[in-house]
Structure 1
Amino acid sequence: MPLKSYVLALSILLMASSVFGQVNGPTQPEATETYEPVPPRVTPGLDGAPPSDAIVLFNGKDFDQWISTSDSTSVNWHLNKDGSMTVKDKTGNIQTKQSFGSIQLHIEWRSPKEVQMSGQNRANSGVFLQGLYEVQVLDNNDNGTYVNGQVGSIYKQSVPLAMASVPSGEWNSYDIIYHAPKFSRGGNIVSPATITVLHNGVLIQDHFEIEGPSEYIGWPQYKSHGKRPLMLQDHRDNSRVSYRNIWVRELD
């Protein structure tokens, strides 16, 4: 056989052997078993309680984990006897003392049973991941508005997949999986933030890539940052939104 033909035949044989090996894969079950790292044990919460590794941000008794966003002074919102807190109009946003990156967040909120105003002025508040990226809180029961600003939207960026609110005056829940954006040393965006939101157990945001900080006017644009606080909004329209049972699990 000529040398060139021999080399060609050998190459074809080696390629076929490689493909055959890839198709068949390992021949023993042990070859595909992994034993490390061992996941940490987390005890689930019962009857609405947080899991064992959660950081409780609001226990219904005090504002110890919170400060005013504007001047870092004490929180001036209402602390209610039922274990909730309510936005006090024109006292400003509040934020956690602790800063976070990627988190799992559970938070419950309620609009007033007594309906007042309409559109964006009815029970408007917001949950701001890292103080920048807003999940809208709004009473949209029989109350239309622009859909990228309705309840459950990533404000002015992503329309929710469904409107899953309970009747006005009852408690809603948000369960949020948030992955913080990553930046290069030079401050350029490497990977955008992503967010998944369940509203009362219904998937309404499915791993959405956040385009940048939430803006009322103009397009979002990323600016480099590290860990930042969670923020709750005082929309300054007598929103009277209440919050309770707030906890996070750090994911980074």
Structure 2
Amino acid sequence: MTIRSFFVFLAAMSVSASVVAHEFEHQPGFPEVPAEWGTVGDGHGEIAVASNGEIYVSVMGGEQPGLQVYSAEGKYLRNVPGAPKDFHGFVIQQEDDGEFLYGVGLWSGTLTKMKLDGTVVFATPVTAIPEKYFWKKKDSDEINPRFTSCAVSPDGTIYVVDGYATDNIHLYDADGSYRETWVGRAEPYNFKNLHKIHIDPRYDEPRILGCDRANLRLVHLSLDGEFLGDFATDLRRPSAAAFHGPYVAIAEIHGRISVLDKDGNIDTTMGTNDDKYNGNRTPPEQWREGIVTSPHGIAFDADGNILMTEYSKFGRILKYTPTSQSGKTELIHDDILGSFRPAKGWMVADSVEAVAGESRFVAEAVEQGGSILFNGAEKNRAAYLFTEAEFQDVSIQLEFMVPKGSNAGVYVMGRYEIQILDSYGKPEVKHSDLGGVYQRWRSKEDAEAKGLPQGYEGVAPKVNAAKAPGEWQTMDIVFHAPRFDAEGKKTQNARFKTVHVNGQLVQTDVEVTGPTRAAPLRGEEATGPIAIQGDHGPIAIRSYVVTPLTAGSGG
């Protein structure tokens, strides 16, 4: 996926996806810092999330300075080999040939592009920029760069801000070559401590969002440098920003995290500290659970959690989790069939029981009421059951029951199947077992012509989590839809982020390049309904919760 395509899908997502939750709660005990460290270390840096969910944090001192990497759950994994120890700001960027990290050295003034394994692509020294754009130390000709942040536009242009010295914004080409400088303290900008800059993807044309800290405001600039105006004012010294759908989270170093909508209005706040803030020497014994001291860097993960790193000589990372999500809907309600498109063979009942040792149910359909949806007592030719609504990124929580030997499936967007099967007791499982990502299928002619098997790309579940037939079971799916550019060209494949069966993780980050075998809908689209397979065997459903999601990006 090109850098431009990455921003195209983020902009589209901000319009079509559901909103982020409006309430958050602090998650204590995050992250799991090795006991021998005591704390993370000098946190005068940034935080960002890679596509695999791993969390990157720049740390300037302590036991493990440099770029620390944590799992999504907060366990310390490693440091990035050879990463600079003065990254005040960095971003993680998905490009055609991989995922890269761009960072700027607070003291060195070096712009570095590297792979996530630490391999350096380029390192452009500060000497590439004319000296006239720098502040010099008193009674000295030595320049004193204080680079605080960088951002990368859809066309690959790199923007670097000298936020602790001149507030100038330096532009580089995609290969790291210096291009030009915008003078930050001149009209019309009048910046004063332009601490961090970010590419704001929420609009038809991406723009720059600047955290003009001492002026207590957020500003918008076009990618060509046109000053578009204030986005929000009277904030508590905004230090950094992160985007999630139509919202932006702001780390305010004067003791607060705020979430703003596209109009710059504050939607919610968290961690507010009105007593003692903006101090990097507050000792850990004076930290208060969930109350911030000096928010400095911020990111969203793909699930909408907020991650924040503080300006602290000891180092502190906090995590806030959404407590509610707009659009969460239970489809099994008083008018069950009203949630779905008309489908032959589907009925509702007050109770459904599996017949021991047989592939059938005992159930009596009812005209009114009923709390269980099912497709008949025995295997029949019931149609696929499609939701009335269509979805893009979505979370699905299903509570279902199948009798012995039965077979069904969940087709997300009507195209990508997670298998439902009576797999109880199998010592080995395949893609066709419960929780498997069902294989794709090529025609016999195509397979013979290419010398390839007809079935491909199926992924077996990590474990057999199936319960015995006749027991109620759960399936939880987190799915990210394929992305398309303005011309309709696919720029990113569909992906099952996680699948859990009966509470056990069975799939993680599985890419699906196209519709799986027997998908009721052909081709690929940006949105689609969810379908339950109804023609391979009996299935009963007593809970069916769908929640539209928004994908996040660190910054």
Q: TM-score, structure 2 length as denominator?
A: 0.35
- What is the Cα deviation at residue 43 of structure 1? 5.4
State the match for 2:395 in structure 1: 104
- What is the Cα deviation at residue 168 of structure 1? 1.6
* Contact 1:162-1:204 within 8 A present in 2 as well: yes
- What is the Cα deviation at residue 143 of structure 1? 4.9
* Contact 1:101-1:226 within 8 A present in 2 as well: yes
**1:139 aligns with one of 422, 425, 437:** 422
Which digits, 9 at most, give the CA deviation of each residue in 1:67-120, with x for residues without a partner?
2xxxxx4553131103212223212111011111111111111112xx3xxxxx
* Contact 2:482-2:495 within 8 A present in 1 as well: yes
**1:203 aligns with one of 502, 505, 527:** 505
Q: Matched residue of 1:228: which SS?
A: coil
Pick the structure with more strand per residue: 2
Residue type of the partner of 1:228?
G
State the match for 1:249 in structure 2: 547
Residue type of the partner of 2:350?
K
Tell me how far apart the structure 1 counterparts of residues 426 and 479 of structure 2 sit (CA, whole Å): 28
Which digits, 9 at most, give the CA deviation of each residue in 1:2-50, with x for residues without a partner?
xxxxxxxx9499999659979xx9899x645242335699656xxxxxx
State the match for 1:155 in structure 2: 438
State the match for 2:78 in structure 1: none
- What is the Cα deviation at residue 249 of structure 1? 1.1
* Contact 1:60-1:85 within 8 A present in 2 as well: no
- What is the Cα deviation at residue 178 of structure 1? 0.9
Pick the structure with more helix per residue: 1
**1:55 aligns with one of 329, 333, 343:** 329
* Contact 1:59-1:246 within 8 A present in 2 as well: no
Choose 165-174 or 35-44, whichever is displaced more: 35-44
- What is the Cα deviation at residue 185 of structure 1? 3.4
Residue 166 (1) aligns with residue 166 (2): no
* Contact 1:103-1:178 within 8 A present in 2 as well: yes
**Alpha carbons of structure 1 residues 57 and 42: separation in structure 2 relative to 1, 3 Å:** farther
Tell me how far apart the structure 1 counterparts of residues 339 and 491 of structure 2 sit (CA, whole Å): 31
Choose 80-89 or 90-99, whichever is displaced more: 80-89
State the match for 1:233 in structure 2: 533
Tell me how far apart the structure 2 counterparts of residues 214 and 187 of structure 1 sit (CA, whole Å): 21
- What is the Cα deviation at residue 64 of structure 1? 0.7
Residue type of the partner of 2:345?
N
Tell me how far apart the structure 1 counterparts of residues 434 and 490 of structure 2 sit (CA, whole Å): 28
State the match for 1:87 in structure 2: 375
Tell me how far apart the structure 1 counterparts of residues 527 and 268 of structure 2 sit (CA, whole Å): 24
Q: TM-score, structure 1 length as denominator?
A: 0.72
Aligned-pair Cα RMSD in Å:
3.5
Residue type of the partner of 1:134?
E
Tell me how far apart the structure 2 counterparts of residues 77 and 143 of structure 1 sit (CA, whole Å): 29
Tell me how far apart the structure 1 counterparts of residues 468 and 418 of structure 2 sit (CA, whole Å): 19
Residue 77 (1) aligns with residue 346 (2): yes
State the match for 2:258 in structure 1: 35
Choose 56-65 or 224-233, whichever is displaced more: 56-65
Percent identity of the aligned residues? 22
Q: How many residues align?
A: 216
- What is the Cα deviation at residue 141 of structure 1? 1.2
Residue 184 (1) aligns with residue 458 (2): no
**Alpha carbons of structure 1 residues 233 and 224: separation in structure 2 relative to 1, 3 Å:** closer
Tell me how far apart the structure 2 counterparts of residues 63 and 251 of structure 1 sit (CA, whole Å): 24
**Alpha carbons of structure 1 residues 11 and 65: separation in structure 2 relative to 1, 3 Å:** closer
Residue type of the partner of 2:408?
S
- What is the Cα deviation at residue 124 of structure 1? 0.4
Tell me how far apart the structure 1 counterparts of residues 488 and 326 of structure 2 sit (CA, whole Å): 36
- What is the Cα deviation at residue 181 of structure 1? 0.4
Q: Matched residue of 2:435: which SS?
A: coil
Residue 64 (1) aligns with residue 344 (2): no
* Contact 2:374-2:538 within 8 A present in 1 as well: yes
Q: Matched residue of 1:35: which SS?
A: strand
Q: Matched residue of 1:81: which SS?
A: strand
**Structure 1, gaps ≥5 residues long:** 1-9, 45-50, 68-72, 116-121
Residue type of the partner of 1:81?
D
Q: Highest Rg: 1 or 2?
A: 2
**Structure 2, gaps ≥5 residues long:** 1-125, 135-141, 150-162, 165-194, 196-212, 214-236, 241-250, 252-256, 261-266, 270-320, 352-370, 440-457, 551-555
Q: Matched residue of 2:431: which SS?
A: helix
* Contact 1:86-1:241 within 8 A present in 2 as well: yes
Tell me how far apart the structure 2 counterparts of residues 169 and 16 of structure 1 sit (CA, whole Å): 74
- What is the Cα deviation at residue 62 of structure 1? 2.8
**Alpha carbons of structure 1 residues 39 and 247: separation in structure 2 relative to 1, 3 Å:** farther
* Contact 2:343-2:383 within 8 A present in 1 as well: no
Tell me how far apart the structure 2 counterparts of residues 39 and 250 of structure 1 sit (CA, whole Å): 20
* Contact 1:123-1:240 within 8 A present in 2 as well: yes
Q: Matched residue of 2:517: which SS?
A: coil
